[in-house]
Amino acid sequence: MMRIPTRFILFPGCLLLMTAPKTEARVWKDASGRELEAELAGRQGDSVLLKLPDGRTLPYPLVKLSAEDQAFVRGQNGAEATANLAKLPASSVRKPLQERAWPQLVEVAAGSVEIRPVSEDALNRKFIYQSEAFEFSSQAKLAGSMMKEIARTFEATKTLLEALPWGIECRPPDARPRFTAALFETREDYIAAGGPEMSGGVYDTADSTFKIPFPSLGLQRLGKTYTRDDNYSSGTLVHEITHQLMDEYLRFLPKWIIEGTAEYTEMLPYKAGIFRAGAHKNGFKEDVEFWAKREGFMPSIEGLEKMITMKRAVWDAECQTAQDMRNMYHRSQLLVYFFCHLDGDGQRFIRYMDAVFGEVDAMRKFFADPRVERVPGGGFRYPRDFPPPDFNPETAPFKHLPILVGERPWPKLAQEIMDAYKSIGVKVTVTP
């Protein structure tokens, strides 16, 4: 389950480092009038780097400075920032579409799951741990071996997303050095922190943090320590981590692809840091069997056009109960699996995700440009001659759907989906 905030807030998705010309120490003021003497040492994302008299360099959000100080920073960094921006790579090296293939086994590198304790504050129930790509805030102290097991699932899911031919580039949001996760000792603590009542974990886009209670991690108290439950399943965890890793993509995807891709990764057989991605058909059929036997859901998509073009307000209206929501997730999984593996060679979905990456890349460049100014409350300002990419939630998620649907009328596509599933021994009912 992913929480979509009612207010659409945009976050930069890349780390932008800009050095500033050497300046003398000056007195800085924040928006409330508090003062601090420091030198301007540069920019990091949406923050200025302030060098204190004792030699420490601290980041401070630009939008929290006084209007005068914000103007000073822009004046100091304008020309050099523009030059540095031109040097930034548009993205990492991406494989050509024709060279991408579905992996067989995806195994996390051992080094990425090494855990480093950062801080321990028993009084405030806050223990910080870091792996290669994640920072974990836990309400209770956990043994290094326990945290390593948890981190392995997070890091393995990231390795999987980067190995799939979807072309996902996993970057922490808001220019953070790592993705963040908050681990809560009880469900009550989790719900008090904003976790939905019916969920086992949630990626909260409002603060870009994965939130999950200990029971959903398979942790149970034994004396003064925590141990793993032998019946623990990593499915919910993988699902929500997928949302977190695709954070920058979410605003450009319809809900059925957001949930369908997370259901897809959750479906893949996983154990001890290894995804058997090549066994996707087995994982899918096991899910279909579970739906029928345990949930009474027979694979079906009633109203294909409505499902594929569904806006988020309509999705929310269709998910009034837990059963309604499960059914929508299942239909989303049916569609994503079809486009990935049964719609010809799956190239339509790969090309679609590549087009979505183009939107993500445009967003990164837009927010990295020094002409874009952040303002308190999550908004931003920009010159009239430098318009932003399309972030409108009413239009942006549907811009590239023609790549998937092509020239196929809805009745034809509905029939193709049913025939494709029939070819692998799965009966699916689809209406246009």
Nearest to 214 by CA among 277, 272, 320, 136: 136
Please tell me the chain's helix, strand, coil percentages from 3-state DSSP, rounded to the nearest 5. 45, 20, 35
Computed over every residue of the chain, the mean pLDDT equals 84
How would residue 87 be classed by pLDDT, with cut points 50, 70 and 90? Answer: very low
- Which band of pLDDT confidence, cut at 50, 70 and 90, is reported for residue 55? low
Query: Are 133 and 227 within one domain?
Result: yes
The stretches of 268-400 forming alpha helices (DSSP H) are 280-290, 304-308, 312-318, 322-337, 347-368
pLDDT tens across 5-48, in order? 322 222 222 222 333 344 578 888 876 677 888 888 776 555 67
Q: Is 281 domain-assigned?
A: yes
Mean of pLDDT values over 221-232: 76
pLDDT greater than 80 at residue 103 = yes
Structure confidence at residue 63 as a pLDDT band (50, 70, 90): low
What confidence tier does 235 reach under pLDDT thresholds 50, 70, 90?
Answer: confident
Tell whether 293 is covered by a domain: no
Is residue 155 domain-shared with residue 180, that is, in the same domain? yes
Angle between helix axes 235-245 and 144-163 (nearest 10 degrees) is 60
Low-confidence winner among 4-13, 112-121, 231-240, 392-401 (lowest mean pLDDT): 4-13
110 in the same domain as 59 = no
Which residue range forms the structural domain that includes residue 120? 2-7+102-287
Distance CA 350, CA 339 (A): 9
Q: Is residue 372 part of a domain?
A: no
Q: Is residue 309 part of a domain?
A: no
Asked if 126 and 24 sit in the same domain, the reply is no
Which has more pLDDT, 359 or 95? 359
- Reply yes or no on whether the pLDDT at 59 is more than 50: yes
Residue with tokens 């028993």: 122
Question: Closest Cα partner for 307 from 219, 389, 202, 414?
Answer: 414
φ/ψ of residue 202, rounded to 5: -150, 140
CATH number, domain at 46?
2.30.30.700
pLDDT of residue 37: 84
Q: Report yes or no on 247 lying in a domain.
A: yes
Query: Are residue 44 and residue 171 in the same domain, yes or no?
Result: no
Whether 159 maps to a domain, the answer reads yes
| 176 and 66 within one domain | no
The alpha carbons of the chain give a radius of gyration, in whole angstroms, of 23
Confidence of residue 244 (pLDDT cuts 50, 70, 90): very high
Higher pLDDT, 199 or 82: 199
pTM for the full predicted model:
0.77
Collapsing DSSP states into helix, strand and coil, what is residue 177? coil
**288 — pLDDT class (breaks 50, 70, 90):** very high
For residues 124 and 270, membership in a common domain is answered with yes
| pLDDT score at 22 | 44
* pLDDT surpasses 60 at 83: no
pLDDT for position 224: 75
Mean pLDDT of 256-261: 97
State how far the Cα of 202 lies from the Cα of 186, in Å rounded to an integer: 15
106, 233: one domain: yes
Q: Distance between CA atoms of 44 and 31, rounded to whole angstroms?
A: 20
Q: Which DSSP category does 41 fall into? A: E
Are residues 47 and 127 located together in one domain of the fold? no
Let me know if residue 318 belongs to a domain: no
Tell me the CB-side half-sphere exposure of residue 377, using CA atoms within 13 A.
5
Residues 228, 111 share a domain: yes
User: Is residue 165 located within the same domain as residue 225?
Assistant: yes
**Number of domains the chain contains:** 2
Residue 45 vs residue 126, higher pLDDT? 126
pLDDT of 26 reads 86
At 225, the amino acid letter reads T
Q: Do 81 and 114 lie in a common domain?
A: no
Q: Is the pLDDT of residue 163 over 60?
A: yes
Q: Is residue 228 part of a domain?
A: yes
Chosen domain end from 59, 87, 115: 87
Q: What is the pLDDT of residue 131?
A: 94
Dmax over Cα atoms in the chain, in whole Å? 73
Beta bridge partners of 381: 373
Tell me what pLDDT residue 79 has: 40
**162 vs 277: CA distance, rounded Å:** 12
